[in-house]
Every structure is written in C-alpha cells, then in structure tokens.
Structure 1
C-alpha cells in the first residue's frame, strides 16, 4: 500500500520487502478499525485470513461490503483509492502482496 494518510487504526506488519515485492499483514483488532485512506501505487493481491467481510469506503460517499473467504485471494490493479474497515465483530487480518516491478 502506498500514499497513506496514516490515520488508520489497523496494524500493518511488513514481512517481506525487496525490489520486486512487499508483503504486509494488516490486522484489525475490532469492528471499525481501518487502514486509513490510501491509494495503491502497485498492482496487488489480498489473501484474507478469515471468513467474513470488509467494509470499503470508496471516497465518493459510497461504502460497500466485500465478503471474503479465508485463504481465497483477490487481485486489484494499481490506482485503487479507498479506506478498508473491519466490518466484523471479531479480530481479522489479511495479507497484502504488492508487485513493485
């Protein structure tokens, strides 16, 4: 993730960072924790570590619910802008893999 406003309450832990790839775990301790508003400067894959859903603020007054399944990845192109929230009544996390080249 790049271009972050640093106002989120979710906790990032970078596991791998080299010239080609960055792998970050995003951990949300409770409902409402969020990443903070950000723009993705790279293509990326997210691997949820839970069954449930994320709430995504798209910045235009629209907030969508995104169901996710444990271990089932999804891909997004660079340029995505959003703030991601834990919409569950339990702690949750996902792994984000960014393709830097």
Structure 2
C-alpha cells in the first residue's frame, strides 16, 4: 500500500486472497504512514479517541476526528499521508478488501 516509507509502524495480522488486515501504530505526534494510494476498497477502525491529520497533497491538509471503535469506509484510489495529530500514541486497524464486488481481484 505505501509508496513512501513513513514513521508509523504497520503490523499485518491477516493476509489472504480476500482481505489484508493491518494495525497502524503511531508512537508520537507527527508519525505518519507515508504517502500512498489505496489499491483496494478499505475499512478503518480507530483504536482511540482523537485526531488524525490527512495530507491530501498540493498543500491540502485536513483533520479527521476519530472515535474508538467507530469504523469508516473508503473506496479504491484514495491518495494521502496519514499523520498522528495527538500528543499520545494511537493506532487503527485497516481492513483492505482484496476482492472486488464481483468476487475477484479485479
């Protein structure tokens, strides 16, 4: 998923032909995933209450409020760098849906 190495720590816990589950851990404010483009639809489940800063490129940066356990869904093609905007360690679980709606990897 990442094309530019960031300082957040990814830990893949499931990786099969249907899903990839990764925990992203940000040890401190400013840790980031690195710039990347999502090749699959995905779901994110925050493991904290707080804020992530999303760098959308071309100088555009937004703050996204996270609530522990409340998931959100995004479709293929999203490009961004996700940054810890908190003064504490935080993490989220990302579930990539490796099969398309018609049941294959296309």
**Number of the residue aligned with 1:46:** 44
Task: Return the TM-score normalized by structure 1.
Answer: 0.96
**Number of the residue aligned with 2:89:** 91
Equivalent residue of 2:57, what SS? coil
Gaps of 5+ in 1: none
Shift of 1:54: 0.1
Gaps of 5+ in 2: 100-106
Give yes or no for the alignment of 1:63 onto 2:61: yes
Counterpart Cα distance in 1 of 2:58 and 2:45: 26
Task: Return the TM-score normalized by structure 2.
Answer: 0.92
Misfit runs of 4+, over 2 Å: none
Shift of 1:5: 2.4
Shift of 1:6: 3.4
